[in-house]
Structure 1
């Protein structure tokens, strides 16, 4: 490849480059039965060193080892129109192929000014061969839904309860009871009738019975590190994008068939919809697995990636502030929405993208359906973007209604591992010996319970707070509490988990849980067989992105050990679903509805509407009086009762939800 010297590239004014070369029309394979046009943007500019692009046809042979059938010239557009980029074709190469080209396998051959040539797949490809190094022309049916017929979608974002799922983890264990051919596959997500060893519902039936209304699928676009042929036993979460608009083939039952992955993902989403569940796609537009080997870099060297030591992702960050990648991301999100019927998007390391791009995505989704959810990670990570352009928590007021994960509430509830060992509310007395928070712990919690505007003053709506205590990153809740309190008995351990989940689930905003969290999923595995966890076990559990099935698979039999916790979480979800007071999306309404009785010294005691919620992590009893008009709705202590004196005594690590009768 002709690579322009980095010092020279630093001087390129990409804004002026966009003004001259950017194109706003459709790219990729534009199919119809009579003729297919294939377009690619690859400006023959001094800055890129590119001379020509040709199309290599492999006929309809999907074998990765097959030889080319022919090489065809592509024509460069001749219209320059800086004021209307839809007509600005001077950077666009096009070829028209007569007849029905469905199934055609193709790549591009790029020639640079030094005579060097590289072959690459189409970055706009929607179909591909196994492992995605060649493009295939496909014409999937659209699964877009009119606003009125997507009845499962939610009227407001705070109605959502999101469960995060990794496709393979969900069903790969034999304990899932899911058929062998569907384990670890798209179809395994929606197989009905599965049970664990104790006859309890697993998989799809488990999700339907839990009460959640959204599932977030960890990356299902084509990612690089897993061999789709199954030849190499490699595991990965999928945050290593290879082809953004192509479904991952290892999750299909036949990765060699270009249509199989498309059809199976579409049918899986359709089954979720039939069950009333929204499906959210986890997307990773901030980086790629290997920027130097990506089709973007081969077609327009240096343009699509920032050349800077400040990187959010650990590899070269993509440059969404440049017109053509911003447009690509927008088009990609709309494509997944219209073709597969996704109901929302979770953006990984969203701070790597600029505010303008994210707002445009929100605007375009609103044109389809304003109920489509949009949220992501708003951490202020190192990146070349100016801080005022970053999609980060301090800039919540500058973005359209886009949610961000609330790590302040998370840490206040369960503590953090990032700045040494710090404790949260559920750690009880230990929290007072190590308090890293700006405000006293209970004040931070009450701010989170009321929508987190005091934590993030520029917030517009509570829906911008994604509330969680567990996700795929870092330790599971159960494992972190075990590490902090290795001497806890099971009952104490479950109390801590139940308080953490309750605080999160009933806070204003959008609750988010990881699959298996409701019954105490663990990733700690005794790999040595010694009966003790070794350092490697903790390392794998904390960051399991490539730790394999042994660590990541859901052991559905663990559910049987924690049915009491699972029942508690189901009841919590029911309380949230049935009572709009917990789903308010207006800060003024929340302020008027909440009365704080005590928020200090290990006690959270407040009333919201007709409900009174009390949490005790003070290491002493907490007595509540004058409850003659109260009904107990839920507690994590089985024998908690209101006495004949209309009193209630909460012991340490107990909680209760009361309904106050006027």
Structure 2
């Protein structure tokens, strides 16, 4: 056996004795190498510790600032730059004013994670921060609180505006409408105010959107919900890939352009609500660059040390973003600052919070059935309410897999400062009915239209009803190009007629049901463009066609009726029958405590139906949908509804 072993060693050019000597030498060299590496690491750590200790000061900033550039904070003619970077040993200010020199403006720290420096006012300039991440890496980042952004080839930099006079607001008399009175109009600035010119895209801007306000005013809506406008990479996006939350997207214009838009809206009697994506950010966010994923020896994520993120690489998030950890106090404070900033600086009226289930995900207690009042969405809503007591706070909630089923949309409203939620149940059921999906006749349309209490809500204002939003295919498109093959086509009606008629049924349900009504831009005239996140200007040319003009005028009448008749804004509803599965007709009435009354009938059948509608008085009643008058006799209106037709009498 010994000979065999030596033979094997000789085959590889090494005797057994040589192998043993080499093994001992390797062990000795390894111990020496390990000692030197350990000494080097200790030396590096000592150097970083020395850097940190030299930066620590007993001074404190006035106020509890966490970021941004602040003029005249310490002394007139100066700017104080602030950066929040817990656990980091060194931060310096860089910019055009110092030729991006990482050593010329080292920042001081309170030792608790806040870094700052005050310098003579450099005027308008690009700036950022140089941050030592650890012994092996450093990064150059923009300001997480930047109000303007310059997108460089490698790094997006913050922009310090030049000294300028404060914006002159004219909305001092403006009051945000009560939730019960809201009629919401959702739009994407890029698409609503954009157009194709010579085959090239001209993306919408705040300036062009302001010029289009007369059209929106003419509709009668009193609240515009803007899809996200926070600064994102690139020129074209829906905005659900945010990077800089304090800045408006460059493609839409500058801060004053947005202020002029909000000011014009308020003068016109329209509230402005911002859709915000707080669940995740894109990987270019400065905090993610400073706190990148860190892995243990077995490849596991080290999550405890990161003060901002759940610590997953961008590929993990289903949308391509990185998830914020809203149960870390650092993240909580950051987003509280964000909502306060937009309410105070831009005079907006509130927020629509995208995917609240993700925002409120607690990785340490995912099965928690309630909403933690000190973290997550509750803390964000609290900060918004403190900044503006009458702010409009609307959430999109659907349960996240692996969380408690007891954590519901209704509890979100009851346990936090959230006013209302998007009524997904209303939309999904109505969408199945409009598109005649499998066994649509068996859907509980009555609970859909009037069952907000069955869903756990206490008042109708706690739900926002819609038949279409940016998240869904427009019913006109779905019916015209997909589901129309399954929908009976009555004699004399084209497929386009059917699509418009059934879309009309959805709109009438939205405005006649208890809850806050919302429409998606283009619904008012029957836009049938496909759903895409790419640039898709509205089909304004359809307004030249009689059918779409009639659809638009009908929508205006529905909006006007909603604003003029308190019965349609009340919590009260009563259905007159329960034969939807056979007759495909829904009849119900609405009333308020002061005596206002409205009655509605929806015919989802391809056949005409004779309907009887009880009313509290005889005489003339006006049908908002058909713009016609009917006479009530013996306490009832009797009329024939055509295929896919509706009536709303007030």
Q: Same fold (TM over 0.5)?
A: yes
CA contact (8 A) 1:351 1:379 kept: yes
Partner of 1:532: none
Q: 1:608 to 1:52 in 2, by over 3 A?
A: same
Corresponding residue number in structure 1 for 2:509: 503
**Structure 1's 58 and 325: CA in aligned 2 closer, same or farther, altered over 3 A?**
same
Deviation at 1:187, TM superposition (A): 0.2
- Aligned to 1:212, which of 221, 228, 232? 221
Q: Distance in 1 between matches of 2:338 and 2:121?
A: 25
1:26 matches 2:65: yes
1:576 aligns with 2:615: no
Tell me the equivalent position of 1:271.
264
1:328 maps onto 2:334 in alignment: yes
> C-alpha distance in 2, partners of 1:568/1:509?
20
Question: Which residue is equivalent to 1:408?
Answer: 425
- 2:249 corresponds to: 248
Q: How far did residue 359 of structure 1 move?
A: 2.6
Does the 8 A contact of 1:351 with 1:391 survive in 2?
Answer: no
**Alignment-derived partner of residue 634 in structure 1:** 623
Residue 622 of structure 2 aligns to a residue whose secondary structure is strand
User: Equivalent of 1:158, from 150, 156, 180?
Assistant: 180
Give distance in 1, aligned partners of 2:516 and 2:611.
31
**In structure 1, what is the equivalent of residue 577 of structure 2?**
598
Other structure's SS at 1:359 match = helix
**Corresponding residue for residue 75 of structure 1:** 108
Q: CA deviation at 1:300?
A: 3.9
Say which SS state the counterpart of residue 400 (structure 2) adopts: coil
For the residue of structure 2 that corresponds to 1:72, the secondary structure is: coil
Deviation at 1:336, TM superposition (A): 0.9
- 1:285 matched to which residue of 2? 278
CA deviation after TM superposition for structure 1 residue 395, in Å:
4.0
User: Closer, same or farther in 2 for the Cα pair 1:360/1:626, shift >3 Å?
Assistant: closer
Q: Is the CA contact 1:214–1:277 (under 8 Å) kept in the aligned structure 2?
A: yes
Q: Would the alpha carbon gap of residues 123 and 388 (structure 1) be closer, same or farther in structure 2, given more than 3 Å must change? A: farther
Give the length in aligned residue pairs: 530
Work out whether 1:149 is the aligned partner of 2:172.
Answer: yes
Alignment check: 8 A CA contact 2:102 2:130 kept: no
CA distance in 2, matches of 1:173, 1:248: 18
| Residues 624 and 462 of structure 1, relative CA distance in 2, 3 Å threshold | closer
Alpha-carbon shift at residue 323 of structure 1 (Å):
0.5
Deviations 1:568-587 (A, max 9, x none): 00000000000122223xxx
Aligned match of 2:31: none
The correspondence for 2:137, drawn from 111, 116, 123, is: 116
> Cα distance, 1:289 vs. partner?
1.7
Distance 2:196 2:133 in 1: 52
Counterpart Cα distance in 1 of 2:165 and 2:383:
21
Q: 1:558 aligns to what?
A: 542
Distance 1:400 1:388 in 2: 21
Q: Give RMSD over aligned pairs.
A: 3.2
Pick closer, same or farther for the CA change 1:363–1:596 going to 2, 3 Å. same
- 2:310 equivalent to 1:306: yes
Q: How far apart in 1 are the matches of 2:186 and 2:613? A: 40
Alignment correspondent of 1:476:
474
- 1:57 equivalent to 2:95? Answer yes
Following superposition, the deviation at residue 102 of structure 1 comes to 3.5
- State the partner residue of 1:39: 82
Q: Which runs of 5+ in 2 are unaligned?
A: 1-60, 293-305, 361-370, 592-596
Instruction: State the match for 1:623 in structure 2.
Output: 611
Q: Offset of 1:626 from its aligned partner?
A: 7.2
Q: CA deviation at 1:93?
A: 1.6
User: CA offsets per residue over residues 144-175 of structure 1, 9 Å max, x none?
Assistant: 999x9352411x21211111111121122269
| Equivalent pair of 1:477/1:497 in contact (CA under 8 Å) | yes
**Residue 654 (structure 1) aligns with:** 645
Query: What is the CA deviation profile of residues 518-551 of structure 1, one whole-angstrom value per residue up to 9, with x for unaligned ones?
Result: 001122xxxxxxxxxxxxxxxxx33x11x33xxx
Report whether the alignment pairs 1:126 with 2:147. Answer: yes
1:467–1:504 Cα contact (<8 Å) kept: yes
Note closer, same or farther for the CA distance 1:436–1:265 as it changes in structure 2 (3 Å cut): same
The whole-number CA distance in structure 2 between the counterparts of 1:497 and 1:123 is 43
Distance 1:124 1:387, change over 3 A: farther
- Quick check: 1:140–1:262 contact (8 Å CA) kept in 2? no
Contact 1:312 1:382 in 2 (8 A): no
* 1:133 Cα deviation after fit: 1.1
Higher relative contact order (CA 8 A, sep 6+): 1
Question: Residues 644 and 344 from structure 1, CA distance in 2 versus in 1: closer, same or farther, beyond 3 angstroms?
Answer: closer
Q: Which residue among 178, 192, 209 is the counterpart of 1:170?
A: 192
Q: TM-score, normalised by structure 1?
A: 0.73
SS at match of 1:466: strand
Whole-angstrom distance in 2 between the partners of 1:213 and 1:390: 32
> For 1:371-382, what aligned pairs fall within 5 Å after superposition?
371-382=390-401
Aligned to 1:17: none
Residue in 2 aligned with 1:443?
446
* Residue number in structure 2 paired with 1:399: 416
The verdict on how the C-alpha distance between 1:71 and 1:135 changes in structure 2, with shifts beyond 3 A counting, is farther
Following superposition, the deviation at residue 477 of structure 1 comes to: 2.2
Q: TM-score, with normalisation over the residues of structure 2?
A: 0.74
CA–CA separation in structure 2 for the residues paired with 1:595 and 1:325:
46
Indicate yes or no: 2:352 matched with 1:346. yes
Are positions 1:189 and 2:209 aligned together? yes
Q: Which moved more, 1:613-622 or 1:390-399?
A: 390-399
8 Å CA contact retained: 1:225, 1:240: no
Which shifted more, 594-603 or 163-172? 594-603
2:278–2:324 contact (8 Å) kept in structure 1: yes
Find 1:337's aligned residue among 337, 343, 348: 343
Contact 2:610 2:638 in 1 (8 A): no
